[in-house]
Structures are given as C-alpha cells and as structure tokens.
Amino acid sequence: MRFDRGACLPSARGVAAIATMLTSGCVSSPSIAVLGAYFPDWLFCIVAGVMLTIVVYVVLKRLGADRAIGPSALVYPTLVAFLSFAVWLAMFR
C-alpha cells in the first residue's frame, strides 16, 4: 500500500474540520483577575446571587412577608439561581 505525503482521505478531512469547529469555543475562558489569580466568571455570579438572596431574605424578614412566600427550601435556592443568572446576563453577556 502506498501513502502519498500530504494526501489524506476525505473522511479524515471532514473529521478534522468538525474537530476544529468544536474546539473553537475553547480559545479563551471567561475569567477575572483578582490579585494576580484568575477566577471563572460563574464563581462571582454565584457569590453575587447568594449575597443578593441574603439581602432579599433580610428585607422580607423585616417586612414580615417571609411566611407568605411558600416553602423556603424551594424558594431560596431558586432565587439564588435566578439572581446568579441575572448577574451573569447583566455583567458578562
């Protein structure tokens, strides 16, 4: 069997093209430099979501409306997720 240098099968070219397209999103990671170390953006979004949920909890507790919102084990984790996604969209879209 003879192999020509630079010649490849059409299927190999297709696989290489698909692999190139799939890995093109890995060019740079979304990160923030904090004191010389890089942290992913989603980490800051989760921290902001937790902090904002604590603020909402304190406000609802002071207003006496915390009993009216339903099961806390379901509402507050959902609020953390919602606020984390909202911070992501507002800051890093």
pTM of the model: 0.64
Band (pLDDT 50/70/90 cuts) for residue 31 is confident
Question: 6 versus 64: which is more confidently predicted?
Answer: 64
Q: Alpha carbon 75 to chain centroid distance?
A: 21
DSSP letter for 64, please.
T
Burial-class residue 84 by CB neighbours within 10 Å (0-12, 13-18, 19+). Answer: buried
Highest mean pLDDT among 8-12, 16-20, 36-40, 68-72: 68-72
